[in-house]
Each structure stands twice: as structure tokens, then as C-alpha cells.
Structure 1
């Protein structure tokens, strides 16, 4: 993801989204079929609905037309981060200690030079790292080296009964 573009979009979008009574959870940009996809994740206490996403999309589309920060063709997608939410900042991860996370690193760590992907239980979050247990082994993963991090639901039956994943 182009971090400069994501930061530019976050600066543009945050005030508009907050003005709608919502919170900007994060922005993801991915290329595909000669067109950039700009994914905007919004949240609110109690959750967001389709109307929130549609209204936010209309406002952001107008803003993008005026400011024109995205080079070339793009598609705007607005949604909630969902149950298996991506994390964009370390403070977003902290409430999910005890839950299952999937982490992809930019480069392997010295603890395991052949590994960039981890899926396990989130044991702790410090000011600059995650501690994840994978197959009985604990790994400390520096947040600066994390390219992607997402919550994974392991008990869908509990979710169906109304329990939120950690």
C-alpha cells in the first residue's frame, strides 16, 4: 500500500467521516485490473449499517472528485471492518488480547528467519510489538515490521449466539 496516499486520504476523509458521527477505522489501497481500489473502513459504537456506508461513500466520492488525490482510475469501497477486522494501528489490536490474529511481516525476524506469516493467540501488546503464541511457541513481532494484521474468528458458533470475538 502506498503509505503517502493512505495518509493523504486519511487526512481528507477523517473530518468528513467524523462529521457523519462515525469513526475512520482505516484505509487500504490495493491494485487490480488496472484500477486502484480504495477501501475505507468505518465504525461507530453499536456498529454501522448499509445506510451509513452508502452515505459515507457519497460524501467521500464528492470529496475525491474535488480534491483529486488518487492518480488514475480507482474504485471506492466503504464498509465496516467486520468481525475479522484488519488492524491499522497498534492501539486497535490491544482490546483483542486473547483472540486469534493473523500477522504478515515485511521481513522475517531473527527468531525464525524462514517465516513471515503467523496465526495464533494474541498474548500481549506493548508500545511497539505484539506477542503471539503459535503452536506452543511465543513470538514477539515488532509492529514496525508488520505489513498486515487481522483478527480471526475461531468459534463461529459463539458468534452466531451473539458473542463477540476477542
Structure 2
């Protein structure tokens, strides 16, 4: 079964569970690391999730996975928080991150730069605008969304 297909099935299975538990589904990953396969489900809620939230979602999802059995190989199921540097994937993720510090890497450089970190000033389906510091000044960088390879919240030290 293709990797995308497994994540689609898992997302469909976990959606009613996260709704019932009043948490948000952030992301689903299914990937091989070394000799092992990992099915990772990332959840969040205002104030963050705790071990009990993760445990409840994991137990219910595990039961559903046993019934549907979409993964023929052995795998490890992990349900956790996306962490402080959570990925930004969906339009709603970007909309919530306006005003926050973010890291964005690109498929191809803009002004010779392939990765930016700064404040997300605005977001639309076509582009996002970051305010970045360059030495002692700030400048706005307009990034077409189709050039974004990866985006995540970024912790400022």
C-alpha cells in the first residue's frame, strides 16, 4: 500500500477520535527509519496536549487500526505533540501563525536565499510575507506558496 494511501486512511480513522477528545489533528506520517516503519500522529490543543491526551487517542486509534488493518507490515504507532516548532502545512496552520516567528525553506532560492526565518506578516493561498532581519535592518520577503518546501514555527532564543 502506498505511503500516501496509508496516511489518508489513518487520517480518516483518527478524525472522529480527535474530535471526540477535543484535540486537533496536526499531521500524520508513515515512514521507514532504518529497518522499522513508524506511524506518527501529531495532535495539539490550546495549552498543549499531555500524556493522557496522547494515550487516549493512541488506544482508540490502535483499536481502529486493528479492525481496518491498512498496514501489512509491522510498525510502531506514536501519538504525540508536534512540539514547539510545529509544522505549518494547512492554510489554517499558516493563518494561526500570522504574527509568529517561523522558519521557511524553499524549493528554489529567492534573492539567492533558500531558507528564511522571521515574523509571518500575512498569508494567502498564493503567497506569504515574512519580515526578516538582515544584520541591522528588517525587510519584507514575499514568498509564493508553491515555492515553500517546509514551514514550521521557530523558537526565538
- Which residue of the partner structure matches residue 17 of structure 1? 18
Match of 2:118 among 104, 120, 137: 120
1:148 Cα deviation after fit: 2.1
Q: Distance in 1 between matches of 2:85 and 2:123?
A: 18
Query: How big is the alpha-carbon RMSD for the aligned residues of Structure 1 and Structure 2?
Result: 2.4
- Which residue of the partner structure matches residue 130 of structure 1? 128
The one-character-per-residue Cα deviations of 1:104-133 (angstroms, maximum 9, x if unpaired) are: 23x205x34x54322222121113322123
Larger strand fraction of residues: 2
1:71 Cα deviation after fit: 4.4
1:62-73 mapped onto 2 (5 Å cutoff): 62-73=63-74
The alpha-carbon distance between structure 1 residues 143 and 72, as it changes in their structure 2 partners (threshold 3 A), is farther
1:1-166 mapped onto 2 (5 Å cutoff): 2-105=3-106, 107-109=107-109, 111-112=110-111, 115-134=113-132, 135=134, 136-155=138-157
Q: Distance in 2 between matches of 1:144 and 1:61?
A: 35
TM-score for both structures, normalised by structure 2: 0.80
Q: Is the 8 A contact 1:87 1:150 kept in 2?
A: yes
1:53 Cα deviation after fit: 0.5
1:57 Cα deviation after fit: 0.8
Secondary structure of the residue that 1:13 maps to in structure 2? helix
Q: Is the 8 A contact 1:122 1:132 kept in 2?
A: yes
The alpha-carbon distance between structure 1 residues 41 and 71, as it changes in their structure 2 partners (threshold 3 A), is same
Q: Where does the alignment leave 5 or more consecutive residues of structure 1 unmatched?
A: 156-166
TM-score for both structures, normalised by structure 1: 0.76
The alpha-carbon distance between structure 1 residues 101 and 125, as it changes in their structure 2 partners (threshold 3 A), is same
Q: Distance in 2 between matches of 1:142 and 1:4?
A: 28
**Runs of 4+ deviating beyond 6 Å:** none
Q: Where does the alignment leave 5 or more consecutive residues of structure 2 unmatched?
A: none
